[in-house]
């Protein structure tokens, strides 16, 4: 809103200093600062309010050291994360940008699903919360909205180099550009595409349509089916992965902040034609505006960590964890980096795999031997290390270090082909 206001004032009245709001780096910095202020200053007030209302999630006795001491700690702290994301985004981002609109929808949508789950747990005294199938319906519903918009919205395009045949036919509008390294010229065109970045591949690109190449000529018209299926899987998996990771103080919050910084940088380079050309990666027009949202997201996570670090004064609940996972998934999809998620979100992936393996192996051994056996002392994986006697703070710190390493590897994949 402020962005549009200052743009209007600059255009019609030329007030001094208003040009600063044209710079993504300036607005993203303001977004981070305001998000930190909202989550740290008003986070304390939210904690006091939730304490007064006795809004504490019941803690199950899993036999973990110090676990029952957390009984009565306020939950639903994800509300402050939502405010820390939405307010700076609405103020400093261009809210007419389709990418920003999708991120706002994602935040509100997944926030509503998570809030409903927490509400049932806290106020209806149902420890199970919202039934799993309804969570999945919410996640799939969001994925369909994102997939449809990405595929059909005319403003969501990628810039591609045009081959000599297309140039000769002159059937489409093209732009003549010059390469920085050898000063040679080439033509580009902004087109609708189902391509995405793919690590370690020669051109660093993967086209979802080619999954159906075996169908023969005309397979491209079915690309939407494959693309939508991938979007549904990614949104559901990452959202649930963040939810499972939110098991000990500060783990999901800190890991998500690291991922948010990485995605913000990737959005900036993907939306900057000079840097994208230098790195030889896909340029996505208008996607640079997402860095303002990424700044708010990182600021909200770091600010919330002020109260969520060990010993936690508040839990984010599903209001926060489901929203964080949904945001990461949709953000990655929009900047065409979703196929990097297994690397970047490796901590989430390992947590999900640990639960999947534990449950599957237990059921298999119970059926085969009549007695269920376990791979881990407890799942998700962070509880396994708690059972082995590691302190929560040590587990969280080491997972953060792994998260930083995975973020660096993610950047490296842009040039390793």
Report the pLDDT value the prediction gives residue 18, as an integer from 0 to 100.
65
394 φ/ψ angles, rounded to the nearest 5 degrees:
-70, -40
- Give the pLDDT confidence of 312-356 residue by residue, as tens digits: 888 888 999 999 999 999 999 999 999 999 999 999 999 999 999
Report the pLDDT value the prediction gives residue 168, as an integer from 0 to 100.
46
Q: What does each C-alpha distance from 176 to 2, 140, 179 come to in angstroms?
A: 35, 41, 10
Across 65-74, 112-121, 296-305, 385-394, least confident range:
65-74
Report the pLDDT value the prediction gives residue 166, as an integer from 0 to 100.
52
Is residue 58 within 8 A of residue 124, CB to CB? The reply is no
- Token output for 257: 């902040």
201 — pLDDT class (breaks 50, 70, 90) = confident
Check whether 243 is labelled as a binding-site residue: yes
- Give the pLDDT confidence of 227-275 residue by residue, as tens digits: 999 999 999 999 999 999 988 989 999 999 999 999 999 999 999 888 8
- Give the pLDDT confidence of 129-170 residue by residue, as tens digits: 888 889 999 999 999 999 999 999 999 998 877 665 554 445
Burial of 351 from C-beta contacts in 10 A (0-12 / 13-18 / 19+): buried
- Any long-range contacts for 69-73 (C-beta under 8 Å, 24+ apart)? 69/311, 70/311, 70/312, 73/312, 73/313, 73/314, 73/315
196 φ/ψ angles, rounded to the nearest 5 degrees:
-145, 160
Is residue 89 within 8 A of residue 129, CB to CB? The reply is no
Report the pLDDT value the prediction gives residue 306, as an integer from 0 to 100.
93
Tell me the sheet residues that pair with 74: 56
- Give the pLDDT confidence of 378-390 residue by residue, as tens digits: 989 998 999 898 9
Is residue 110 within 8 A of residue 319, CB to CB? The reply is no
Check whether 318 is labelled as a binding-site residue: yes
Question: Residue 57: pLDDT above 80?
Answer: no
Is residue 241 within 8 A of residue 325, CB to CB? The reply is yes
- Give the pLDDT confidence of 61-89 residue by residue, as tens digits: 566 665 556 666 888 889 999 999 999 99
Report the pLDDT value the prediction gives residue 126, as an integer from 0 to 100.
79
Contacts of 372 (CB under 8 A, 6+ apart): 362, 363, 365, 366
Burial of 258 from C-beta contacts in 10 A (0-12 / 13-18 / 19+): buried
Distance CA 25, CA 71 (A): 42
- Give the pLDDT confidence of 271-290 residue by residue, as tens digits: 988 888 888 888 899 899 99
Question: Residue 100: pLDDT above 90?
Answer: yes
> Could you give the residue ranges of the DSSP H alpha helices within 153-218?
164-169
- Give the pLDDT confidence of 359-384 residue by residue, as tens digits: 999 999 998 888 889 999 998 999 89
């Amino acid at each position: 809103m402020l962005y549009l206001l200052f743009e209007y004032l600059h255009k019609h009245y030329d007030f001094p200093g208003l040009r600063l709001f044209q710079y993504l780096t300036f607005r993203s910095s303001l977004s981070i600062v305001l998000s930190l202020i909202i989550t740290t200053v008003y986070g304390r007030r939210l904690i006091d309010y939730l304490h007064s209302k006795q809004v504490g999630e019941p803690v199950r006795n899993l036999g973990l050291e110090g676990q029952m001491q957390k009984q009565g700690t306020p939950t639903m702290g994800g509300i402050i994360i939502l405010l820390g994301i939405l307010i700076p985004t609405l103020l400093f981002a261009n809210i007419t940008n389709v990418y920003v609109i999708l991120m706002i929808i994602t935040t509100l949508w997944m926030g509503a699903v998570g809030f409903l789950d927490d509400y049932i747990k806290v106020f209806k005294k149902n420890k199970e919360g919202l039934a799993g199938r309804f969570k999945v319906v919410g996640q799939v519903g969001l994925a369909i909205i994102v997939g449809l918009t990405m595929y059909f919205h005319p403003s969501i395009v990628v810039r591609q180099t045009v081959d000599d045949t297309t140039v000769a036919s002159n059937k489409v509008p093209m732009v003549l550009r010059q390469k920085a390294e050898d000063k040679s010229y080439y033509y580009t065109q902004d087109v609708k595409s189902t391509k995405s970045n793919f690590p370690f591949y020669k051109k660093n690109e993967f086209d979802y349509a080619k999954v159906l190449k075996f169908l023969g000529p005309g397979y491209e018209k079915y690309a939407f089916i494959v693309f939508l299926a991938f979007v549904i899987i990614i949104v559901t998996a990452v959202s649930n992965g963040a939810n499972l990771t939110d098991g000990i103080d500060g783990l999901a919050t800190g890991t998500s902040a690291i991922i948010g910084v990485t995605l913000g940088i990737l959005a900036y380079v993907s939306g900057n034609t000079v840097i994208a050309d230098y790195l030889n990666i896909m340029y996505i027009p208008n996607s640079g505006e997402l860095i303002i949202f990424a700044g708010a997201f990182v600021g909200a996570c770091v600010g919330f960590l002020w109260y969520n670090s060990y010993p936690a004064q508040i839990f984010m609940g599903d209001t926060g964890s489901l929203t964080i996972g949904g945001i990461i998934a949709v953000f990655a999809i929009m900047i065409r980096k979703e196929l990097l998620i297994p690397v970047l979100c490796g901590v989430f992936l390992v947590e999900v795999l640990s639960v999947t393996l534990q449950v599957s192996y237990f059921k298999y051994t119970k059926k085969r031997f009549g007695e269920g056996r376990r791979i881990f002392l407890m799942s998700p994986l962070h509880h396994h290390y708690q059972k082995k006697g590691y302190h929560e703070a040590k587990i969280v710190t080491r997972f953060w270090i792994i998260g930083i390493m995975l973020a660096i590897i993610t950047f490296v994949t842009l040039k390793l082909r």
